[in-house]
Structure 1
Amino acid sequence: MALKKLRILAFKNAEYSGTPSEEETFTAMINPESYTLDYKVEYQDGQGQGTSSAQQKFSVSKPGEWTGEFLIDSSGIIDGKPRETIEEDIKKLRDLLLKYEGEIHEPKHFQIIWGSLTFKGRCTGLNINFKLFNSQGKPIRAICKVSFIGSVDDELRTAEEKKKSPDMTHYRMLKAGDTLPMMCYEIYGNSSHYVQIARVNKLSSFRDLVPGTEIFFPPLKKNTPVA
């Protein structure tokens, strides 16, 4: 079985659509020994003056961060293809990750693919540690530490969040087998609101539901009476 190399694919759109060219693809010379995925959730304590403690209130889920290191070498020891220096390789990587693209008025979007890993995001940093030099002082080996922050387009983010808080507005597309009581239970935690939802959506019957119909679920407070 052929060895799978880690690849970084560059895209000019937040939907990550299209097929990147060879110039828009970085393939690791040697797969990294490790990489780091960092996830954080922020809370606000909302503690009042003179109080001893407070419940932490959810604020935001921070996007994930990916960090890894890549070896770039032109000595020929690794690939059997010696070159004078890695300067051109470094420039290509730097331009790929950080260069401002006039067409989209910002740097590119990236997808990291390796094994079961698929990480989408923007490059936030490139640190280059030159490790070896030839007799003319030109670098022939470097370790490049690259960091990315997770990023998806708003439409996909909304779909992935699938918020089910009863105090928020929801739209659901009916699928075969769906029932209003079941959907009400999933969103409100109470299936008895199906009569109200049928009335809001002007449904003549809550039983004869047509797949593909979009149903509106308005915000309901916990003390909302059942109709």
Structure 2
Amino acid sequence: MASLELMKITGYTDEEFQNKFPGNPYTFMINPDTVKLQKSIDYNEQQAPATSSTSQKYKSTPSDKLNFDIVIDCTGVVDAKRVDMAQEIKALETIIYTYNGKIHRPNFVKIQWGQDITFSGVLNSIDISYTLFKPDGSPLRAKISLAFSQYISPETVTMTDAPESPDLTHIVTVTEGMSLPQLCLKTWNDDSFYVQVAAYNKLNKFRNLSGIDKLIFPPIISNS
């Protein structure tokens, strides 16, 4: 009979999920009953002339969402060694919620459960409801609702998106010796958008881009 595998959350200090936050991952005491994964697509509705209905033009694909509830039980029935509620909450929050001064933000996190659930993201919200107490008011059991958003680094987004599409935002690495029109030609196969890119990045130069590492190429609206 296979042993029970518990869901765990590991903290990371970089957006590529390579450097683990010091300490052990937080392992849940009881696995969630339900895990909800939400995917969505955003559209701009447009109505063509002389038509009675709108058409949907692709706008963007928001990050995936992961939501689930877990129970922390410190009565000693589930795990005789884990009976300190304050310690459990602190251990969880340190990984997923607490501000990390070294990276100037809360940690990135990876949720793992078995072979089929691996989700890399950031915490959106944590709601804690205490449901059982000692006679002195100390909590013994808590239900915790967690919501996460998938996190993909800007460099990964750039590699994933179709590089020739001017409808998408790109983080472009500046190649030494290339001008802004040349970068536009390389990225979109069209060098005519360089003025808009320069304005978006507040550039006052088009040819010599020395000293600039990366530029944001925003979604472009063509005048044609």
Q: Give me the TM-score of the superposition, normalised by structure 2.
A: 0.68
Give how far 1:47 is off.
2.9
Equivalent AA in structure 2 for residue 7 of structure 1: K
Partner residue of 2:121?
121
Alignment of 1:1-227 (within 5 A): 1-23=2-24, 25-47=25-47, 52-81=52-81, 83=83, 85-115=84-114, 116-161=116-161, 163=162, 219=189
Query: CA RMSD for the aligned pairs?
Result: 2.7
Give how far 1:165 is off.
5.8
Is the radius of gyration larger for structure 1 or structure 2?
1
Shift in CA distance, 122/167, structure 1 to aligned 2, threshold 3 Å: closer
Q: Give me the TM-score of the superposition, normalised by structure 1.
A: 0.67
Give how far 1:52 is off.
2.4
Equivalent AA in structure 2 for residue 3 of structure 1: L
Counting aligned pairs with the same residue, the percent is 26
Partner residue of 1:205?
none
Equivalent AA in structure 2 for residue 105 of structure 1: H
Structure 2 unaligned spans of 5+:
168-185, 191-224
For 2:165 and 2:94, the matched residues in 1 are separated by: 46
Number of positions where the alignment pairs a residue of Structure 1 with one of Structure 2: 172
For 2:101 and 2:20, the matched residues in 1 are separated by: 20
Structure 1 unaligned spans of 5+:
169-215, 221-227
Question: Is the 8 Å Cα contact of residues 43 and 57 (structure 2) preserved in structure 1?
Answer: yes
Question: Is the 8 Å Cα contact of residues 13 and 20 (structure 2) preserved in structure 1?
Answer: no
Question: Is the 8 Å Cα contact of residues 16 and 109 (structure 1) preserved in structure 2?
Answer: yes
What SS is found at the alignment partner of 2:10? strand
1:68-112 Cα deviation digits (max 9, x unpaired): 1111111011113363x4122112222322111111111110111
Shift in CA distance, 141/167, structure 1 to aligned 2, threshold 3 Å: closer
For 1:37 and 1:217, the matched residues in 2 are separated by: 33
For 2:187 and 2:12, the matched residues in 1 are separated by: 36
